Structure 1
């Protein structure tokens, strides 16, 4: 063993730069791969780990009844906790609060329901009015954390009588009109639970990325009049935790209806939202794992080439020691020692790097649900990388060295039919030579990785094309609310709980504006069908209505028909209420009783303050009146003509409404944007990164092929040079090889990638849900060919120059 150790010491002294480069390459590659795999595992489990021990709510009860007594719900068997919160405005100076920043009504929150993990500090004292908890994103956005103070502005009781949505809509949430008490509150904790978690893509008025701030229940207890108003017209909703979890939801709905005599009370299954979030988290985890695996393949190719080059150089020097008694086995061991030692050191550094990188995982949506942010050591993944990489590199280096020292002289290899056809057609010699370099594998010492190069270039181009096609679909969906059925631009809050302002005069005045293309009047109330409750909208056109988007079927044409939203139709199918979609009759129960409807279509409804665009039903005004005598919310929907200045038109419409009698109680605001608009943007990054790594894989494979072809076929090139081929023709031969790989990769990779990108985007569109439109990445289709040819030829430039400068005498003599 003294000779291998002596040779290793000699290698460290002579090739320290090359070995150091290999150490860095292994460390960076391994850190990337391990961080991706560990981050994938951590992200996929984040929501489950957060749910454990936080007493998550199972249902949200939405009842717009100011006088409702929540003790009736607490008395229902199987209810473990009820946490009411008031649907009333609260302002913080200099902060944009969302719809999820509402005051809890009593101390049951954070005690019986949604007991959060503390990322910092403690929970607010429920008896104090001057303490509050915030989310991690709030801290990042506003720079205020534990120990800092904020100023809460409350409305006067008279101001609280106004519709809070009108106030928010007309002034913006940072332009506070509230003239009630100013409360200086101290932030005492940063919290996180399944409900109290930062969300991706909130609706209008809830400002994506702002975070939330929740005051102590003591604020409401001390200032009830400032939240409920002089008429006590404001209402409370509640989070409910059940003994049997989601499994007890059907029985809870039944007992709630029996206890209150109101079967139409809306009860949302919060597990649906958790499943939606888990699908997003799982998608990110799969994409991150795919990224890690593609990085592994690319790293294996690059590191393998680097290590093989070091082994080849060492073997060339060790060959002269053969006559002195060095055996082939000793030569193999000595040649593999340098790369193996570098891989071991690189693996140690890579594991340390991956461990440090865990501070920034999980990423995306999963980061909102991570209960223990910070350093996280995934020992199974880290130890696997620490052991596997040195072993694989050592085995690969030793195997390559053994194959090299035992290789037999080259025999006859198969010829390429394409190259043969080109030869018969009399094409120039550089083209023929280049095609043979690209398509003929060779044999023995002249063998080339032709198949892997062709597969690599095709896979890389297909990956890039798929990523760009997918990205084109994301860009379209992220900027086009109509893909979610949201064809209106402006919401007009006309009334709540059966009370409204001058709705008809307001909508008629809006319809007369020259920039307005359509106006529609809609009422909203909750109904039940089977074990499900959901919102019911009607629609009355004022002039030309905004278009309504359907996936199948048509709009209701009479009071006997109904249109189902996509997710509601799915839930009705899951519960057995609906079987055949369009044409089937279902039974709905409203405040006036129950009756049957025929399903005329399935599509999307407006995104509302308490519903998403994919849940609810749409009926005619006559159908609505047969179910309800009043409304929970009444809204107008306004669409602008194409090319209109939306900001100027909105300001003008607000002035128009404000000039009408009672118009100061009417609120105008931009349409609610589905949170999926932001969510689909989040799914773009990882496929694009995966495409980039596949492109790196293709480039590495093509570059390795060009370098190896010149090195292993130098005897053939020397013979051709001796027969009269010029240096310029030699360069063209190598360039032709690169061009052939590019053309073949484009021919198979572009259509494959386009089809794959569309399939992936269609799966996302169906799962979201949204209207699927086949994405067309126009610029990618135009540029991928020229860019690929340019990149391949740039990679081939150095090997081409090496081939052109080849020493004929040396090459022929050594062969």
Structure 2
């Protein structure tokens, strides 16, 4: 060990500065990788942490206000451990346009059940009947902030029952609500209103409630959710048999399971983000390891003679490597500290894209475990690179006698090709290092192409509303025939369709939002992913997500329940992007207009979809909004989640391009230096300067050309699979948009840049001379 320590001290005196520089470089790369891992972990865990932070309920139902017996039965259903009964109102927002909003409130709320995370402000005071908390999506959509005023008038139960035929001015009390907070939840809508008031509001206006939402905490039994669902379905049927509610068409008999019924598109978005960050981390790590490994290899190559002397004096290979590891220990510590610090600093980065909407703890969240484990792994990996480089450099290899080769071969007429390829694959610095360099280049090109193609597909979806079922500029709720006749004759209306919406039950009891459209003027396009639209009896088109979940495709048969005794077999004729009545994408089905009444559960809701003439949408909306409940085109949450990712593919592509470009530039710039001896021998044997430069060009092309030939199709394949998963999960077409123009320009630029980098360095010019 005395000799080991002496050699280590000598190595520190002569080479510590270079090792420290390599340690700083490796620490920076490892820190960025750890930061990327920390960001991916925070992105992945945002939604489950929000679920725990708000105390999300296990099940929820909405009971009509005129069915008190059903409300009492809910508390006694199997699987119920705790139930919080609330009130829900429908209110008209007073203003220039006709708008409605749902308000929810309750008393005696359990401490661990359904408390939104505050994004701004506070919760309504228990004794303040005019204070409300609004959902984050509603605040963004309506421009509401803390302090905003919302003048509303409540509807009576009878007016809610007449929603489809008109009811005149609201007959309930009028009040002005003050927004005191903005809340964040995993999901809003359904039984959970977008405007939440306090106990004082519930006490004052209880008699005008349209529904009584119940939020349930289930027992820990595995079958509690199924038992509760079955029990509520039976109890609702008994209540309807005694006295059917007058608002039954507007209070669905469905059980929501918020914890288990998370939006599949959310999981897909999370997977996309995490996979993208993992690709970046992998390419950064591999590129950094290759660059640092080459630097460490050159560092030890310059010190090969001392190892030979040490070997002649009796030091074994293990002792020589141990001495170099001891010498590199300070550099490893520097790399570990730098990587850990950067990993901790990444705690300020919040989840990417739409997952930022689910972060329950905005601000700094230090990833202590990732930073600590990553720092130790950084030091260990740096020492491993140093040890391998020292062992390879200090090994004494016996040379094999050259193999007997034919004097003339078919490639010997192009010596630059022969020598350039051999230098890249088998020459000094080749072997595993060359394979690693090509592998990094292939993965980098594949990552760049995949991110560009995925980004182009997202961009096309976001900017072509018809692709996500929102070709209409305006939608009129509860459209009546006089309104439709007026719209048909309006020259500002380019296309008009009457849409009937209801719930369709499959034979296994699964509910689907069903709809049918009747064209009244012009044509409103529908995005067909596969097949065609249903036109005749017994035909149905499904959302791509529903089709995938059911395992059916075009031509398959799907039994659907009817109002009669027997189900009807529908033939699937296509998959289409369709938005249901509540604005959800990916859960619906289309049938022929004449058959919707036969399979719908309840009275269909009627709406009108309008495509305005060019430049006339705003004027038309202002005119119609005075006496019709009108809504503009709203991007579904599933597409909005993807829209939040639009910059991510660009960032990933730029990052991968920089990392791959720097790694490739480093490799090519050092190629002439690594092979200077071989190039000098070639020049002495009669190679011209042009042949020397051609040899270096072939060496560069040997790395770049395989990367392009293998990386481009690999990247397109990855993007096609990833986009198909994302698209079908949200309910749109999985057709990939390939940026052929960008690829056609980028490929020759990459090859040209590699050739320039290979032949222009000083060592290459010196060898050519």
Instruction: Tell me if both proteins adopt one fold, taking TM over 0.5 as the criterion.
Output: yes
- SS of residue in 2 equivalent to 1:154: strand
Partner of 2:391: 402
1:489-522: per-residue Cα shift (whole Å, max 9, x none)? 3212235xxxxxxx33332333344564431112
Structure 1 CA distance for aligned equivalents of residues 695 and 112 of structure 2: 76
Please point out which of 463, 466, 481 is paired with 1:504.
Answer: 481
| Farther off after superposition, 516-525 or 134-143 | 134-143
Report 1:314-463 matches (<5 A): 314-315=303-304, 332-333=321-322, 335-408=324-397, 421-424=410-413, 427=414, 430-438=416-424, 440-442=425-427, 449-463=433-447
What's the CA shift for 1:301?
A: 1.3
> Structure 1 regions of 5+ residues with no counterpart?
167-178, 203-210, 496-502, 659-663, 809-815
What's the CA shift for 1:636?
A: 0.4
| Farther off after superposition, 379-388 or 310-319 | 310-319
Structure 1 CA distance for aligned equivalents of residues 194 and 396 of structure 2: 68
Instruction: Say whether residues 1:587 and 2:561 are aligned partners.
Output: yes
Tell whether the 8 Å contact from 2:513 to 2:580 is kept in structure 1 after alignment: no
Q: 1:666 to 1:796 in 2, by over 3 A?
A: same
Tell whether the 8 Å contact from 1:4 to 1:330 is kept in structure 2 after alignment: no
Aligned residues: 733
Tell whether the 8 Å contact from 1:114 to 1:195 is kept in structure 2 after alignment: no
1:616-640: per-residue Cα shift (whole Å, max 9, x none)? 4444554344567984642101235
Tell whether the 8 Å contact from 1:456 to 1:697 is kept in structure 2 after alignment: no
Report 1:188-267 matches (<5 A): 191-195=183-187, 214-219=196-201, 221-222=203-204, 239-243=215-219, 244-245=224-225, 248-261=228-241, 265-267=252-254
- SS of residue in 1 equivalent to 2:696: helix
1:134-185: per-residue Cα shift (whole Å, max 9, x none)? 678999999999xxx503221356999999xx9xxxxxxxxxxxx9644555
Structure 2 CA distance for aligned equivalents of residues 92 and 340 of structure 1: 72
> Structure 2 regions of 5+ residues with no counterpart?
164-172
Partner of 2:89: 86
Please point out which of 570, 587, 598 is paired with 1:599.
Answer: 570
Partner of 1:812: none
Tell whether the 8 Å contact from 2:283 to 2:440 is kept in structure 1 after alignment: no
| Farther off after superposition, 293-302 or 452-461 | 452-461
Q: 1:161 to 1:621 in 2, by over 3 A?
A: same
1:52-78: per-residue Cα shift (whole Å, max 9, x none)? 474423445467x67555734644514
1:357-413: per-residue Cα shift (whole Å, max 9, x none)? 123244334433344444445555333322222222223213312321334476567
Q: 1:738 to 1:269 in 2, by over 3 A?
A: same
Structure 1 CA distance for aligned equivalents of residues 271 and 718 of structure 2: 20
What's the CA shift for 1:441?
A: 0.7
| Farther off after superposition, 617-626 or 19-28 | 617-626
Q: TM-score, normalised on structure 1?
A: 0.76
What's the CA shift for 1:584?
A: 4.1
1:64-112: per-residue Cα shift (whole Å, max 9, x none)? x67555734644514432444334356999xx9x99x853232366757
Partner of 2:608: 636
Structure 1 CA distance for aligned equivalents of residues 307 and 142 of structure 2: 65
Partner of 1:614: 586
1:757-804: per-residue Cα shift (whole Å, max 9, x none)? 223222322222211223221222211222211331344255x42132
Tell whether the 8 Å contact from 1:50 to 1:193 is kept in structure 2 after alignment: yes
Structure 2 CA distance for aligned equivalents of residues 293 and 416 of structure 1: 41
Instruction: Say whether residues 1:666 and 2:628 are aligned partners.
Output: yes
Partner of 2:495: 518
Report 1:266-285 matches (<5 A): 266-267=253-254, 268-270=256-258, 271-285=260-274
Partner of 1:169: none
Tell whether the 8 Å contact from 2:545 to 2:728 is kept in structure 1 after alignment: no
Instruction: Say whether residues 1:309 and 2:309 are aligned partners.
Output: no
Structure 1 CA distance for aligned equivalents of residues 548 and 431 of structure 2: 58
Structure 1 CA distance for aligned equivalents of residues 185 and 489 of structure 2: 48
- SS of residue in 2 equivalent to 1:85: strand
Tell whether the 8 Å contact from 1:291 to 1:689 is kept in structure 2 after alignment: no
Structure 1 CA distance for aligned equivalents of residues 156 and 560 of structure 2: 43
Q: 1:218 to 1:631 in 2, by over 3 A?
A: farther
What's the CA shift for 1:275?
A: 4.7
Structure 1 CA distance for aligned equivalents of residues 686 and 49 of structure 2: 72
Structure 2 CA distance for aligned equivalents of residues 807 and 481 of structure 1: 59
Structure 2 CA distance for aligned equivalents of residues 725 and 674 of structure 1: 66
| Farther off after superposition, 323-332 or 108-117 | 323-332
